[in-house]
Amino acid sequence: MTLDGKVALVTGGARGIGAAICERLSRDGAAVAFTYIQSHDKARALVDSISVDGGRARAICGDVGEPADVAATIRQTLDAFGRIDILINNAALQLSGAVESYSLDKFDRMLSVNIRGLFLMTQEALRHMSAGARIINVGSISSDYMPVADHAIYAMTKGAVASLTRGLARDLGPRGITVNNVQPGRIETELLMSAIGPLADKIKAGVALQRFGDVSEVAALVSFLAGPDGSFITGANLRVDGGASA
Protein backbone atom coordinates (compact mmCIF):
# COMPACT_ATOMS: atom_id res chain seq x y z
CA MET A 1 0.00 0.00 0.00
CA THR A 2 2.17 2.77 -1.38
CA LEU A 3 0.07 5.59 0.11
CA ASP A 4 -0.36 4.14 3.58
CA GLY A 5 -0.66 6.94 6.14
CA LYS A 6 -1.22 9.66 3.53
CA VAL A 7 -4.22 11.96 3.31
CA ALA A 8 -5.60 12.97 -0.09
CA LEU A 9 -8.09 15.70 -0.95
CA VAL A 10 -9.88 15.29 -4.28
CA THR A 11 -12.10 18.02 -5.73
CA GLY A 12 -15.11 16.89 -7.72
CA GLY A 13 -14.74 13.38 -6.37
CA ALA A 14 -18.28 12.03 -6.28
CA ARG A 15 -18.48 10.68 -9.82
CA GLY A 16 -16.59 9.89 -13.00
CA ILE A 17 -12.82 10.30 -12.98
CA GLY A 18 -12.91 11.89 -9.52
CA ALA A 19 -14.66 8.91 -7.95
CA ALA A 20 -12.23 6.50 -9.62
CA ILE A 21 -9.33 8.49 -8.21
CA CYS A 22 -10.83 8.39 -4.71
CA GLU A 23 -11.30 4.62 -4.95
CA ARG A 24 -7.78 4.02 -6.23
CA LEU A 25 -6.06 6.24 -3.66
CA SER A 26 -8.03 4.58 -0.89
CA ARG A 27 -7.14 1.13 -2.17
CA ASP A 28 -3.49 2.21 -2.14
CA GLY A 29 -3.75 3.18 1.52
CA ALA A 30 -4.66 6.86 1.66
CA ALA A 31 -7.45 8.44 3.67
CA VAL A 32 -9.55 10.43 1.20
CA ALA A 33 -11.62 13.58 1.51
CA PHE A 34 -13.49 14.75 -1.57
CA THR A 35 -15.75 17.61 -2.59
CA TYR A 36 -19.01 17.58 -4.49
CA ILE A 37 -21.83 20.03 -5.18
CA GLN A 38 -25.01 18.27 -6.32
CA SER A 39 -24.22 14.55 -6.39
CA HIS A 40 -25.18 13.91 -2.77
CA ASP A 41 -26.38 10.33 -3.28
CA LYS A 42 -23.29 9.38 -5.24
CA ALA A 43 -21.06 11.02 -2.65
CA ARG A 44 -22.72 9.08 0.15
CA ALA A 45 -22.49 5.84 -1.81
CA LEU A 46 -18.79 6.40 -2.48
CA VAL A 47 -18.04 6.98 1.21
CA ASP A 48 -19.95 3.83 2.10
CA SER A 49 -18.14 1.80 -0.56
CA ILE A 50 -14.71 2.94 0.60
CA SER A 51 -15.63 2.28 4.24
CA VAL A 52 -16.88 -1.23 3.48
CA ASP A 53 -13.52 -1.98 1.87
CA GLY A 54 -11.72 -0.84 5.01
CA GLY A 55 -10.79 2.66 3.86
CA ARG A 56 -11.48 6.09 5.32
CA ALA A 57 -13.37 8.74 3.37
CA ARG A 58 -15.09 12.05 3.98
CA ALA A 59 -17.51 13.76 1.57
CA ILE A 60 -17.58 17.56 1.73
CA CYS A 61 -20.24 19.62 -0.04
CA GLY A 62 -18.71 22.80 -1.43
CA ASP A 63 -18.01 24.91 -4.52
CA VAL A 64 -14.30 25.16 -5.32
CA GLY A 65 -14.90 28.56 -6.91
CA GLU A 66 -16.04 30.06 -3.60
CA PRO A 67 -13.30 31.08 -1.12
CA ALA A 68 -15.46 30.36 1.95
CA ASP A 69 -16.26 26.86 0.67
CA VAL A 70 -12.59 26.20 -0.06
CA ALA A 71 -11.55 27.28 3.43
CA ALA A 72 -14.28 25.09 4.92
CA THR A 73 -13.15 22.11 2.82
CA ILE A 74 -9.57 22.41 4.06
CA ARG A 75 -10.74 22.81 7.64
CA GLN A 76 -13.01 19.76 7.46
CA THR A 77 -10.26 17.66 5.88
CA LEU A 78 -7.86 18.61 8.66
CA ASP A 79 -10.50 17.97 11.32
CA ALA A 80 -11.19 14.53 9.89
CA PHE A 81 -7.66 13.34 9.08
CA GLY A 82 -5.19 15.81 10.60
CA ARG A 83 -3.13 16.61 7.51
CA ILE A 84 -3.07 16.99 3.73
CA ASP A 85 -0.38 15.21 1.73
CA ILE A 86 -1.97 14.97 -1.71
CA LEU A 87 -4.22 17.47 -3.50
CA ILE A 88 -6.04 16.35 -6.65
CA ASN A 89 -7.59 19.31 -8.49
CA ASN A 90 -10.17 17.40 -10.50
CA ALA A 91 -13.35 19.53 -10.35
CA ALA A 92 -14.22 20.98 -13.75
CA LEU A 93 -17.03 22.06 -16.02
CA GLN A 94 -17.35 21.61 -19.76
CA LEU A 95 -19.91 24.05 -21.15
CA SER A 96 -19.85 24.02 -24.93
CA GLY A 97 -21.06 26.67 -27.34
CA ALA A 98 -20.08 28.84 -30.28
CA VAL A 99 -17.93 31.80 -29.28
CA GLU A 100 -20.17 34.40 -30.96
CA SER A 101 -23.17 33.35 -28.85
CA TYR A 102 -21.36 32.20 -25.70
CA SER A 103 -22.87 33.97 -22.69
CA LEU A 104 -20.74 35.84 -20.20
CA ASP A 105 -22.41 33.89 -17.39
CA LYS A 106 -21.23 30.58 -18.88
CA PHE A 107 -17.78 32.04 -19.49
CA ASP A 108 -17.46 33.25 -15.90
CA ARG A 109 -18.72 29.95 -14.50
CA MET A 110 -16.18 27.96 -16.51
CA LEU A 111 -13.35 30.18 -15.26
CA SER A 112 -14.69 30.05 -11.70
CA VAL A 113 -14.48 26.27 -11.48
CA ASN A 114 -11.74 25.29 -13.95
CA ILE A 115 -9.19 28.01 -13.10
CA ARG A 116 -10.21 30.06 -10.07
CA GLY A 117 -11.24 26.95 -8.14
CA LEU A 118 -7.96 25.18 -8.87
CA PHE A 119 -5.99 28.26 -7.78
CA LEU A 120 -8.01 28.79 -4.59
CA MET A 121 -7.78 25.15 -3.50
CA THR A 122 -4.06 24.99 -4.23
CA GLN A 123 -3.38 28.23 -2.38
CA GLU A 124 -5.29 27.16 0.71
CA ALA A 125 -3.99 23.58 0.78
CA LEU A 126 -0.37 24.71 0.46
CA ARG A 127 -0.59 26.35 3.86
CA HIS A 128 -0.82 22.84 5.31
CA MET A 129 1.49 20.86 3.01
CA SER A 130 5.11 19.98 3.67
CA ALA A 131 8.05 18.46 1.78
CA GLY A 132 7.05 15.33 -0.08
CA ALA A 133 3.51 16.55 -0.76
CA ARG A 134 1.94 16.15 -4.18
CA ILE A 135 -0.35 18.40 -6.21
CA ILE A 136 -1.93 16.71 -9.22
CA ASN A 137 -4.16 18.66 -11.57
CA VAL A 138 -6.59 16.94 -13.90
CA GLY A 139 -6.47 18.85 -17.16
CA SER A 140 -7.33 17.64 -20.65
CA ILE A 141 -5.68 16.95 -23.99
CA SER A 142 -8.09 19.64 -25.19
CA SER A 143 -5.51 22.18 -23.99
CA ASP A 144 -3.62 21.58 -27.25
CA TYR A 145 -5.73 19.14 -29.25
CA MET A 146 -9.32 19.95 -30.21
CA PRO A 147 -10.92 17.90 -33.02
CA VAL A 148 -14.46 19.28 -32.69
CA ALA A 149 -16.05 22.73 -32.71
CA ASP A 150 -17.71 24.72 -29.91
CA HIS A 151 -15.24 23.85 -27.11
CA ALA A 152 -12.88 26.82 -27.41
CA ILE A 153 -13.57 28.19 -23.92
CA TYR A 154 -13.08 24.80 -22.32
CA ALA A 155 -9.81 24.37 -24.21
CA MET A 156 -8.69 27.79 -23.00
CA THR A 157 -9.28 26.86 -19.35
CA LYS A 158 -7.37 23.58 -19.71
CA GLY A 159 -4.51 25.42 -21.40
CA ALA A 160 -4.33 27.62 -18.32
CA VAL A 161 -4.15 24.51 -16.12
CA ALA A 162 -1.16 23.23 -18.12
CA SER A 163 0.64 26.57 -17.83
CA LEU A 164 -0.10 26.94 -14.13
CA THR A 165 1.21 23.43 -13.52
CA ARG A 166 4.60 24.33 -14.98
CA GLY A 167 4.78 27.58 -13.04
CA LEU A 168 3.82 25.96 -9.74
CA ALA A 169 6.41 23.22 -10.25
CA ARG A 170 9.11 25.91 -10.34
CA ASP A 171 7.66 27.77 -7.37
CA LEU A 172 7.24 24.72 -5.16
CA GLY A 173 10.25 22.65 -6.16
CA PRO A 174 12.44 24.20 -3.44
CA ARG A 175 9.86 23.08 -0.88
CA GLY A 176 10.02 19.48 -2.11
CA ILE A 177 6.45 19.57 -3.44
CA THR A 178 5.77 18.18 -6.90
CA VAL A 179 3.07 19.52 -9.24
CA ASN A 180 1.88 17.61 -12.30
CA ASN A 181 -1.01 17.69 -14.75
CA VAL A 182 -2.76 14.50 -15.86
CA GLN A 183 -4.47 15.12 -19.20
CA PRO A 184 -7.24 12.62 -19.96
CA GLY A 185 -8.35 12.16 -23.53
CA ARG A 186 -11.54 10.45 -24.51
CA ILE A 187 -12.48 8.78 -21.22
CA GLU A 188 -15.96 7.28 -21.02
CA THR A 189 -17.73 9.49 -18.49
CA GLU A 190 -21.08 11.26 -18.28
CA LEU A 191 -19.27 14.53 -18.95
CA LEU A 192 -17.68 13.33 -22.18
CA MET A 193 -20.64 11.43 -23.57
CA SER A 194 -23.04 14.33 -22.98
CA ALA A 195 -20.58 16.72 -24.63
CA ILE A 196 -19.94 14.72 -27.81
CA GLY A 197 -23.40 13.18 -28.29
CA PRO A 198 -23.85 11.88 -31.86
CA LEU A 199 -20.15 12.40 -32.59
CA ALA A 200 -19.19 9.49 -30.29
CA ASP A 201 -18.39 6.99 -33.05
CA LYS A 202 -16.41 9.52 -35.06
CA ILE A 203 -14.35 10.56 -32.04
CA LYS A 204 -13.72 6.94 -31.03
CA ALA A 205 -12.42 6.25 -34.53
CA GLY A 206 -9.84 9.00 -33.99
CA VAL A 207 -8.35 7.22 -30.96
CA ALA A 208 -5.33 5.12 -31.90
CA LEU A 209 -6.51 2.26 -29.65
CA GLN A 210 -10.00 2.48 -31.19
CA ARG A 211 -11.81 2.72 -27.86
CA PHE A 212 -12.68 5.17 -25.12
CA GLY A 213 -10.57 5.03 -21.99
CA ASP A 214 -11.76 3.84 -18.60
CA VAL A 215 -11.72 6.09 -15.54
CA SER A 216 -9.53 3.54 -13.74
CA GLU A 217 -6.77 4.14 -16.30
CA VAL A 218 -6.63 7.82 -15.34
CA ALA A 219 -6.72 6.96 -11.65
CA ALA A 220 -3.76 4.62 -12.07
CA LEU A 221 -1.54 7.44 -13.33
CA VAL A 222 -2.72 9.76 -10.57
CA SER A 223 -1.85 7.15 -7.97
CA PHE A 224 1.60 6.64 -9.48
CA LEU A 225 2.33 10.38 -9.35
CA ALA A 226 1.05 10.54 -5.76
CA GLY A 227 3.27 7.66 -4.64
CA PRO A 228 7.00 7.28 -3.97
CA ASP A 229 7.81 6.21 -7.53
CA GLY A 230 6.67 9.62 -8.82
CA SER A 231 8.99 11.63 -6.59
CA PHE A 232 11.21 13.00 -9.39
CA ILE A 233 8.41 13.96 -11.78
CA THR A 234 7.23 17.56 -11.60
CA GLY A 235 6.00 20.19 -14.02
CA ALA A 236 4.85 17.47 -16.41
CA ASN A 237 1.73 17.43 -18.56
CA LEU A 238 1.02 13.71 -19.00
CA ARG A 239 -1.57 12.44 -21.49
CA VAL A 240 -3.85 9.46 -20.91
CA ASP A 241 -5.59 9.43 -24.27
CA GLY A 242 -5.07 6.12 -26.07
CA GLY A 243 -3.15 7.91 -28.78
CA ALA A 244 -5.95 10.33 -29.70
CA SER A 245 -3.45 13.17 -29.97
CA ALA A 246 -0.59 11.12 -31.46
Query: Is position 240 within any domain?
Result: no
Query: Is position 244 within any domain?
Result: no
Query: Is position 76 within any domain?
Result: yes
- DSSP per position, 173-238: GGGT-EEEEEEE-SB-SHHHHHHHGGGHHHHHHTSTTSSPBPHHHHHHHHHHHHSGGGTT--S-EE
- Rounded to the nearest angstrom, the gap between the alpha carbon of residue 169 and the centroid of all alpha carbons in its chain is 17
Provide the number of structural domains found in the chain: 1
Query: Is position 16 within any domain?
Result: yes
Residue 72 Cα distances to 57, 64, 136, 142, 214, angstroms: 16, 10, 21, 31, 32
Element (H or E) spanning 35, and its range?
Answer: strand 31-36
Query: Is position 243 within any domain?
Result: no
Q: Which one of 36, 102, 145, 154 is the catalytic residue?
A: 154
Active-site annotation holds for 154: yes
Tens of each residue's pLDDT in the chain, 246 residues? 899 999 999 999 999 999 999 999 999 999 999 999 998 999 999 999 999 999 999 999 999 999 999 999 999 999 999 999 999 999 999 898 999 999 999 999 999 999 999 999 999 999 999 999 999 999 999 999 887 788 899 999 999 999 999 999 999 999 999 999 999 999 998 877 777 778 888 889 999 999 999 999 999 999 999 999 999 999 999 999 999 999
Query: Is position 56 within any domain?
Result: yes
Query: Is position 2 within any domain?
Result: no
Domain that holds residue 27: 7-234
Q: What's the one-letter identity of residue 195?
A: A
Q: Residue 215: give its domain's CATH number.
A: 3.40.50.720
Distance CA 11, CA 193 (A): 21
Angle at Cα 46 formed by Cα 129 and Cα 139, nearest 5°?
A: 55
Query: Is position 37 within any domain?
Result: yes
Distance CA 173, CA 183 (A): 21
